Amino acid sequence: MDAIKNLINRKSAKKLELPFPTKEEMNIVYESALRAPDHAWLRPTKFLEFKGDSLKKLSKIFEDFAKKHYSDDELFIEKARMAPFRAPMVIVLITEVKNHPKVPAIEQMLSTGAAAQNILLALNAQGYGGVWKTGKLALNDNITKFFNLGENHHILGYLYIGTKTGEDRKVPEINIEDFVVRH
Ligand SMILES: Cc1cc2nc3c(=O)[nH]c(=O)nc-3n(C[C@H](O)[C@H](O)[C@H](O)COP(=O)(O)O)c2cc1C
């Protein structure tokens, strides 16, 4: 696919179904992800990949977290339990913050954000879809513990992955001049 078309035309998936990318296709996805800018090459970004039967493991993690921290919210507990089954593959986006005199945690998390976008683009280029989700299940220290990750780990969200189905999202038109001041 033309590189610029891939950048301009990528849209987050509304609904996802099988198939998910093959291992070879996912290797291209991870290779792209790991070429994201990374100050001092600290390699702070880690991924957990769940698909097929292992989505049940992710569901259990989400359910246990919801039961502990939202014990009086039955709706959320059920939503959390079912969340992984919205797509055939889910990648957990993790930043493992390293100590470095010149590279603060925020830069390391931004690097993971850039990796996430590279994943979405590499998926799109290969004919697959994805969408980044956060909500109560990400960006907090409590959820990290349910993945048995250390305190220096941060979950920046989940990429739901598969083959797009149904209508594409309607993306609002943008006027470049509203966002750019040309000096
Ligand atoms: C960090 C981050 C977190 C997001 N969390 C959610 C979320 O929890 N639920 C959701 O529906 N969309 C979430 N979104 C938005 C979608 O991933 C997507 O970007 C948005 O629907 C716009 O679609 P587009 O990417 O095609 O422009 C999040 C986006 C980002 C960047």
Give me the CATH number covering residue 156.
3.40.109.10
**Which of 124, 134, 168 to mutate to test ligand 1, by most ligand atoms within 8 A of the CB atom?**
134
Mean pLDDT, range 49-66, rounded to an integer: 98
Integer Cα distance of 158 and 90 in angstroms: 6
| pLDDT (0 to 100) of residue 169 | 83
Residue 39: domain span: 18-49+83-165
Q: Ligand 1, residue 10: give the atom nearest the CA.
A: 26
Q: What is the mean pLDDT of the chain?
A: 97
Mean pLDDT, range 92-108, rounded to an integer: 98
The answer to the question of residue 42 being in a domain is: yes
Integer Cα distance of 6 and 106 in angstroms: 28
The answer to the question of residue 179 being in a domain is: no
Mean pLDDT, range 124-138, rounded to an integer: 98
Number of domains in the chain: 1
How much is the pTM?
A: 0.97
In terms of Cα–Cα distance, which of 23, 42, 43, 24 is closest to 34?
43
Q: Ligand 1, residue 131: give the atom nearest the CA.
A: 17
Q: Is the pLDDT of residue 1 over 80?
A: no
Integer Cα distance of 106 and 110 in angstroms: 6
The answer to the question of residue 45 being in a domain is: yes
| pLDDT (0 to 100) of residue 111 | 99
| pLDDT (0 to 100) of residue 40 | 98
